[in-house]
Homo-oligomer: A and B are copies of this chain.
Amino acid sequence: MAKTDVLTLAILGMLSEQPLHGYQLRKQLGSELGAFRALSYGSLYPALKRMVGSGLIAADANEAEDAHAATSRRSRIAYRLTDEGKKRLADELASAGASSWDDDAFDVRFSMFDKTDSATRLRILEGRRSRLAERLEEVSESMQQRRERNDAYTTELQRHGLERVEREVQWLDQLIETERSAPGGNTKAATGGENN
């Protein structure tokens, strides 16, 4: 079982909505996710090539929907999911990821929550939460130990880092609670509350 890295998963998710060119793919990933804020072509194109190689996606080279301009045409390649790609995505969406708990991986996984069932959502949220709790433990412990040795600025930096993680945990707690109290939400409509 080849394991699916974060970028591959993100691309699978994007392409499941509609076929896209590399260029468009990059823009979408950049604007939609926190991760991949500035995904470089040096990562993207090789990744696409890998995915074509492993049969997850296919490259449709420039099919003109308008028949009138047959010649010329600048080179553009639209990528779409293959059946194998769809299967892989479905597997991944059902699996709670095992490693959906890293900073980037969680973001990607979270942005696909509307494609997942409530149970899986909860497992991911809780996994992420406990991962952050661990880090909280580690960091605050090492802060205690070296409290004397550090200067004021380093201490402040650590304190701020800690606070950021704590707030992340609070955010997760909120999401977990919402998910528990409204488990029915399979697709679309869940978090925001009742603004629409």
**Chain A residues in the interface with B (C-beta under 8 A):** 31-34, 107, 110-114, 142, 145-146, 148, 150-158, 160-161, 164, 167, 171, 175, 188-193, 195
Contact = CB atoms under 8 A, between A and B. Distances in A.
A189 B155 CA distance: 11
18 contacts: A31-B146, A32-B150, A107-B157, A110-B153, A110-B157, A111-B153, A113-B151, A113-B153, A114-B151, A114-B154, A151-B192, A152-B189, A153-B191, A155-B191, A155-B192, A156-B175, A156-B192, A164-B164
A31 B148 contact: no
A152 B32 contact: no
A129 B110 CA distance: 28
3 A-B pairs closest in CB distance: A152-B192, A113-B153, A31-B142
Q: Which of A32, A110, A157, A171 has the most CB of B within 10 A?
A: A157
Contact of A190 (B113, B148, B152): B152
Q: Which of A34, A148, A189 has the most CB of B within 10 A?
A: A34
Given A160-B171, A164-B164, A114 B32 contact: no
A70 B196 CA distance: 78
Contacts of A167: 164, 167
B151 A33 contact: no
Contacts of A193: 152
B114 A152 contact: yes
Given A31-B142, A34-B157, A110-B157, 17 more contacts: A31-B146, A32-B146, A33-B157, A110-B153, A111-B153, A111-B154, A114-B152, A114-B154, A151-B188, A151-B192, A152-B190, A152-B192, A155-B192, A156-B175, A156-B191, A164-B164, A164-B167
A30 B164 CA distance: 17
Nearest to A164: B164
